[in-house]
């Protein structure tokens, strides 16, 4: 009985340790090694499992797909630090600001582009909060509407490609998909690429942005006092508008387009994106040696965090499997009424709740490798599953009282904006997120149609 409880106790222990605020990477590895030591002493754990760890770490180091992570981070940090995103917001605000809800439309569109560039919820929410929240409040926007819009657009980095979240999720699901097929006796397994996940996320991501824009338009029409027009904003000259809009939009379209047409892998496209962002910053005179050093340090910090968590998660999943945790979960799913539908629903609920205490990186590296192969072996489409997980986490990060997006904005919002305003402001957007999740669950082809078309299937 104890051997069956150990993997469950290990998972509960890591959640408790993380809630106490200890560093994620070392918590994952440390908790796993403690339980492995307990298992060895009690004779319930085979120490030879740990001999596979060096090969796993070497596989991580030599994984070409993961090279895209620092490159996409570099691209996003360059756009942020070189004030290109701020210039983009100013131009969009001047273009739409004279209309009711215009500033809200601008924030959603710029937040979408910024989220696609960085793919990191915290960076996007903080950046948009610092740039746009004071402007929206000074123009008479309802604090609830302003904060809710910023929080919601900040989480778009989970689903709008190209994003780090999709890169990491795609790589993890690729391994899970191959393992699921091997477990089923398929020795020539189909492959899943990060590019497939990027393509699959396009339609749901753009639909979600359209839902945000429709809600902002509805508020502007029905409650114009909450989203007033900025009459003093004059539309910029066409040349200035194109100069501010075309470079960042062209960069993101180039990155995505090269992946869509098969001209480049996500890693190669990330390199093009990073180089393009650097050239844009240099042309605009925003790339001094001091700023370049700041960009490099920020990129290094985020990249080190991602890979240290990946190493810690590798140790955790190895020990978890050594205790038979994956078999325990599979037996549990097999005994559920409703089969794959019930199993998928339970996984989604668990991931949603874990999103309150874990970031997307920990969930991607710890939870997905455990439940992914089981669900995929039950016939779940890997692209659909990946997009559902990304949307689910996006909703979790937006939900009070523990959503990460809310904490990030609370940290940069002025004292005049209460926490209750932020909570009430995100409520309609949570409803839109749940609607998008329902639509994707009802019509999986929203995620699978475009990848099949691109691959010619």
Q: Is the bond preceding residue 212 a cis peptide, omega within 30 degrees?
A: no
- Rg of the chain (C-alpha set): 22
Structural domain includes residue 3: no
Structural domain includes residue 23: no
Structurally, the chain folds into a number of domains equal to: 1
Amino acid 371: pLDDT: 85
CA nearest neighbour of 386 among 183, 214, 158: 158
Cα separation values, 432 from 57, 152, 199, 341, 346, Å: 40, 10, 22, 22, 21
Structural domain includes residue 373: yes
Query: By the 8 A CB rule, do 104 and 228 touch?
Result: no
Structural domain includes residue 18: no
Structural domain includes residue 426: yes
Tokens standing for residue 168: 């990491």
pLDDT tens string 324-375: 777 777 777 777 777 788 888 888 988 888 877 777 777 888 888 888 888 8
Amino acid 116: pLDDT: 67
Residues 450, 280: Cα–Cα separation, whole Å: 31
Query: By the 8 A CB rule, do 273 and 162 touch?
Result: yes
pLDDT tens string 435-449: 999 999 999 999 989
Residues 344, 371: Cα–Cα separation, whole Å: 9
DSSP string, 219-234: HHHH-GGGS---TTPP
Structural domain includes residue 44: no
Structural domain includes residue 278: yes
DSSP string, 11-78: HHHHHHHHHTT--HHHHHHHHHHHHHHHHHHHT-S-GGGGGGHHHHHHHHHT-SGGGHHHHHHHHHHH
Residues 124, 120: Cα–Cα separation, whole Å: 6
CA atoms within 13 A on the CB side of 346: 18
Tokens standing for residue 421: 């305003």
Structural domain includes residue 412: yes
Residues 26, 34: Cα–Cα separation, whole Å: 12
Query: By the 8 A CB rule, do 168 and 306 touch?
Result: yes
Q: Which residue has 């599953």 as its token pair?
A: 385
pLDDT, tens digit only, all 457 positions of the chain: 556 677 888 888 887 887 777 777 788 888 888 988 888 888 888 878 788 888 878 877 777 777 888 888 888 788 777 777 777 777 777 777 678 888 888 889 888 877 766 666 666 787 778 778 888 888 888 999 999 999 898 888 778 887 778 888 888 888 888 877 777 766 666 777 888 888 899 899 999 999 999 999 999 999 888 888 876 666 667 777 777 777 777 887 888 788 777 778 878 888 888 888 888 888 877 778 888 888 889 888 888 877 888 888 888 888 888 887 777 777 777 777 777 888 888 889 888 888 777 777 778 888 888 888 888 888 888 899 999 999 998 888 888 876 778 877 887 788 888 888 888 999 999 999 999 999 999 999 999 898 888 776 5
Name the residue range of residue 190's domain: 68-294+339-454
């Amino acid at each position: 009985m104890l051997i069956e409880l150990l993997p469950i106790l290990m998972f509960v222990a890591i959640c408790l340790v993380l809630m106490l605020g200890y560093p994620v990477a070392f918590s994952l590895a440390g908790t796993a090694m403690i339980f492995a030591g307990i298992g060895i002493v009690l004779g319930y754990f085979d120490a030879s499992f740990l001999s596979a760890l060096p090969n796993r770490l070497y596989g991580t180091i030599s994984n070409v797909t993961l090279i895209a992570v620092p490159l996409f981070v570099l691209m996003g940090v360059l756009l942020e630090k070189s004030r290109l995103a701020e210039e983009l917001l100013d131009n969009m605000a001047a273009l739409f600001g004279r209309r009711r809800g215009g500033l809200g439309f601008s924030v959603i569109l710029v937040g979408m582009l910024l989220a696609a560039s960085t793919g990191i919820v915290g960076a996007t929410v903080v950046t948009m909060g610092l740039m746009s929240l004071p402007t929206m409040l000074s123009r008479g926007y309802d604090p609830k509407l302003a904060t809710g819009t910023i929080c919601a657009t900040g989480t778009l980095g989970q689903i709008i490609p190209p994003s780090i979240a999709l890169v990491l999720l795609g790589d993890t699901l690729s391994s899970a998909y191959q393992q699921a097929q091997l477990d089923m006796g398929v020795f020539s397994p189909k492959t899943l690429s990060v590019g497939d996940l990027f393509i699959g996320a396009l339609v749901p991501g753009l639909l979600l942005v359209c839902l945000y824009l429709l809600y902002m338009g509805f508020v502007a029409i029905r409650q114009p006092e909450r989203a007033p027009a900025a009459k003093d904003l004059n539309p910029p000259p066409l040349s200035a508008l194109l100069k501010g809009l075309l470079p960042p939009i062209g960069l993101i379209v180039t990155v995505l387009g090269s992946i869509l047409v098969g001209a480049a892998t996500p890693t190669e496209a990330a390199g093009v994106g990073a180089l393009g962002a650097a050239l844009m910053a240099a042309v605009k005179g925003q790339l001094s040696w001091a700023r370049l050093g700041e960009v490099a340090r920020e990129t290094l910090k985020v990249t080190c965090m991602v890979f240290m968590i990946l190493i810690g998660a590798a140790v955790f999943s190895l020990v978890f499997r050594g205790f038979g945790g994956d078999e325990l979960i599979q037996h549990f799913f097999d005994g559920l009424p409703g089969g794959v539908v019930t199993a998928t629903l339970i996984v989604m609920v668990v991931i949603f709740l874990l999103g309150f205490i874990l970031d997307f990186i920990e969930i991607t590296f710890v939870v997905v490798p455990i439940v992914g192969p089981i669900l995929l072996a039950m016939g779940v489409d890997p692209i659909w599953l990946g997009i559902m997980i990304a949307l689910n986490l996006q909703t979790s990060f937006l939900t009070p009282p523990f959503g990460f997006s809310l904490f990030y904005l609370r940290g940069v919002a002025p004292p005049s904006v209460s926490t209750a305003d932020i909570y009430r402001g995100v409520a309609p957007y949570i409803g839109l997120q749940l609607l998008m999740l329902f639509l994707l669950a009802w019509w999986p082809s929203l995620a699978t149609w475009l990848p099949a078309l691109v691959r010619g299937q």
